Amino acid sequence: MPTEVVEPEAYTQFDSDVEDALTFAGKDWREITREHWSKHYCAFHFLSHEALAYYLPSLLIIPLADRLDHMDMAVDSLIHDLDRTPLSSPEDYPFECRLAGLTCDEYEVIKEWLLLEHFT
């Protein structure tokens, strides 16, 4: 479980999106539901590197387990962030830094998830 859910600099511009990210604090990733992601989808963009890696499995598993025929906003955000050209603007940098810190196994899981027929 991550010690910091958001990066410390997020507190300088505290807003509802940072507050959404903080709703993940203290929760096991297995406790996160589709409803939680749907209600707090902006949290995806404000999770710290450690929290993103920790809560990412819930975001990947929920659409598969629920056999969704559409994508939720949080899943859309993940796919949008994965589908960017390299650092098109400075605001892209924080996500790409967090993504760059994933392990090879985590990259492999994301790749397999993207290749599933459900998302093609």
pLDDT per residue, tens digit, the chain (120 aa), is 998 998 777 667 777 888 999 999 999 999 999 889 989 988 888 888 889 889 999 988 887 776 655 557 788 777 777 776 555 565 555 555 666 778 889 888 888 888 875 555
Domain range for 33 is: 8-119
**What is the pLDDT, as a whole number, of residue 27?**
95
User: Would 43 be classed as within a structural domain?
Assistant: yes
Structural domains counted in the chain: 1
> Is 112 a domain residue?
yes
Give pLDDT, residue 32: 92
Question: 1 lies in a domain?
Answer: no
With 0-12 / 13-18 / 19 or more C-beta atoms within 10 angstroms meaning exposed / middle / buried, residue 102 is middle
3 located within any domain: no
What is the pTM assigned to this prediction? 0.77
